[in-house]
Amino acid sequence: MTHKLELKNISLTYGKQQSLNDVTTVLESGKIYGLIGRNGAGKTSLLSLVASYRLPTLGTITFDGNELFEHPNHMKNIHFGYDRVYKDEAIENANKYLESVKLHRPHFDETYADQLISKFKIDVNKPLSKFSKGMVAAFHIMLGLANRTPVTIFDEVYLGLDAPTREMFYQELLKEHERNDRMFILSTHLVSEMEHLFDHILILHHGKLVADEDFETFTNRGVKLIGANEIVDEFTANKHILHEEKLGGTKATTIYGEFKEEDWRRAKLKDLEVSPISLQHLFTYLTKEEA
Amino acid sequence: MRQHLNKTVIRELYKEWLKWSIWLFAIIIILRVLHWIGDYFGEVEPAIDHFMYFMNESSPIFMLVVGIMMVFTFLRYYTEHGLTRRTYFIGGAIASLMITITIGVISMLLPVIEGIVLSLFGIHYPEHLQFHSFGYWISYFLLFIITSWLYYIIGWFIGHVFYRYNWWKGIFASFFGFVLVMLENVINGETVTVYGVHFEGLSLSIFTSIIILLLLSAGMLVINYRLVKDIQVKMK
């Protein structure tokens, strides 16, 4: 079943500080969304609103056309995994915690959970408070995947994992994405490592959504031109320049915006070296602070 | 509201608090045994009270603590399982009432076991502990339940204010809770003294006391609901 999560004009204010500013987007099932932003950009705030941890100051969030906050059926369709510290819990033991997940999560797949527990070597006989950082991260991942909720949010939970385990998670996520028509929202600043996972990019900067496009369209907007100063300048005259580097008579300019096939052809004819830039670079340039 | 009523939550909370209450009964029984030993070897007449009176002192305090802890242990827990604040609220209100009833029933049954155990040691259960009528005990049982439940709701209120607002508003809520506890004492006919000021206990019938305490509980439940209906769930 296809689901639609709609955020309309979402703003969030903490005292005098505005954390989110007029965020509007529509997210759909079957896609992996990469929510990218620098520290303090408002990623966790936005995701906590989607998970109904709080109400926005302004705006509405709907799930399949119904208001999500306090909706008894739709709230169960959302899983929010974040860098959570387990301390003074009502249920201390990981095994017992899983028992309670089984009771409350209608889509929870126990067999899949067992597979993930052995794959990520999670010791579920231990109390959650005794888990190492890596084990907590693996536990979050296992929960998020096995919950099989239509909307699954991972807010940088993978940061506690070592590189090989993170790779295992990426592979498992892609397999699960193939098997089930779920919506995943992955918040990260490990952009280069995770970009192959994303179908759609959302970039938050200072609480504003500065990019909301499918991965290909978005990454095609970033182009690097290298060549003689005058020719590069001629090509980039009316473009949004993200970055410039000069070396003698040669210049490398990174632009953001529509760069048609004809532009590529013309650039080649004028001896310009043209290459697409990575999502990581695009993100860095778009969210770079002026000194 | 019915959509938010979740039997699993009620059952889960009830079971958890029943486990917590084992500690309460264990402590009370130890204290009771020590009392009996003291009375047995003492030279004066036994001064021990009926088990139900003994429990009436400790059960409300236990429920007050349960109410405060409910917020900090179960609010985030249920939200992260995709349950609503209303489910948490309804579940908490019903399960707490159920646990107070259970504590009340156990407290009514334990004196029977106590009597049997005492008779095994050749000690007769003092007559002054048994002379009340059945009707009296039923009323007392109801008063016991409603008082303990009110304490839970007061604890819940204090917990919600601390959780939702800052510490000084929490302190204010604790002070308000203290006033409510004094009010409950006065309604139940006890004289309360605060800094030398006496508040005479009211001479109300048990039935009237129950009605007033029920109304007070209902009012506090409404306040609790208002505090929790859009509360921000803390992530840390």
Report domain extents, chain A: 4-215, 220-286
- How many angstroms separate the first and last alpha carbons of chain A? 48
Confidence of residue A204 (pLDDT cuts 50, 70, 90): very high
Q: What is the pLDDT of residue B200?
A: 87
3-class state of residue A259 by DSSP: coil
Q: Is residue B118's pLDDT more than 90?
A: no
Q: What ipTM was reported for this prediction?
A: 0.88
Q: How far is A78 from chain B (nearest CA, A)?
A: 7
User: In whole angstroms, what is the distance from residue A54 CA to residue A49 CA?
Assistant: 5
Q: Which site among A49, A61, A70 would you substitute to test the B interface, given the most B Cβ atoms closer than 10 Å to its Cβ?
A: A70
Cross-chain Cβ contact A89/B73 below 8 Å: yes
Helical (H) or strand (E) element with B226 = helix B206-228
Chain B CB contacts of A53 under 8 Å are: 79, 232-233, 235
Q: Does domain A4-215 have CATH number 3.40.50.300?
A: yes
Q: What is the pLDDT of residue A86?
A: 83
Phi first, then psi: give them for residue B51, nearest 5 degrees.
Answer: -55, -40
Identify the sign of the CA torsion B1, B2, B3, B5. Answer: positive
- SS3 labels along A23-67: EEEEEECCCEEEEEECCCCCHHHHHHHHCCCCCCCEEEEEECCEE
Q: E strands, A64-196, where?
A: 66-67, 78-82, 151-155, 183-188
User: Looking at residues A11-21, what average pLDDT do you find?
Assistant: 92
Using the Cβ of B1 and the Cβ atoms of chain A, whether some distance falls under 8 Å is answered with no
> What is the 8-class DSSP label of residue B193?
E
Cross-chain Cβ contact A53/B77 below 8 Å: no
User: In whole angstroms, what is the distance from residue A277 CA to residue B179 CA?
Assistant: 67
Check: CB of residue B158 under 8 Å from CB of residue B174. yes
Q: How far is B110 from chain A (nearest CA, A)?
A: 28
Using the Cβ of B86 and the Cβ atoms of chain A, whether some distance falls under 8 Å is answered with yes
Output the average pLDDT for chain B.
90
Reported as a single tens digit per residue, the pLDDT across B7-59 is 999 999 999 999 999 999 999 999 888 888 877 777 666 567 778 888 888 99
Q: Is residue B130's pLDDT more than 80?
A: no
* H-assigned helices in B81-205: 85-120, 134-164, 167-187
Nearest C-alpha neighbor of A59 from the set A70, A71, A67: A67
Cβ partners under 8 Å of residue A211, min gap 6:
A201, A202, A203, A218, A286
| Pairs of CB atoms within 8 A across A/B | 62
Confidence of residue B162 (pLDDT cuts 50, 70, 90): very high
Phi first, then psi: give them for residue A183, nearest 5 degrees.
Answer: -105, 125
CATH class, A220-286 region:
alpha beta
Q: Which site among A19, A48, A75 would you substitute to test the B interface, given the most B Cβ atoms closer than 10 Å to its Cβ?
A: A75
Q: What is the pLDDT of residue A78?
A: 96
Confidence of residue B129 (pLDDT cuts 50, 70, 90): low
Q: Please classify residue A122 by burial: count the beta carbons closer than 10 Å to its beta carbon, then call 0-12 exposed, 13-18 middle and 19+ buried.
A: buried
Rounded (5°) CA angle A187-A174-A30: 75
Chain B CB contacts of A52 under 8 Å are: 79, 84
User: pTM of this prediction?
Assistant: 0.91
The number of residues in chain A equals 291
Reported as a single tens digit per residue, the pLDDT across A168-187 is 999 999 999 999 999 999 99
User: Looking at residues A23-51, what average pLDDT do you find?
Assistant: 95
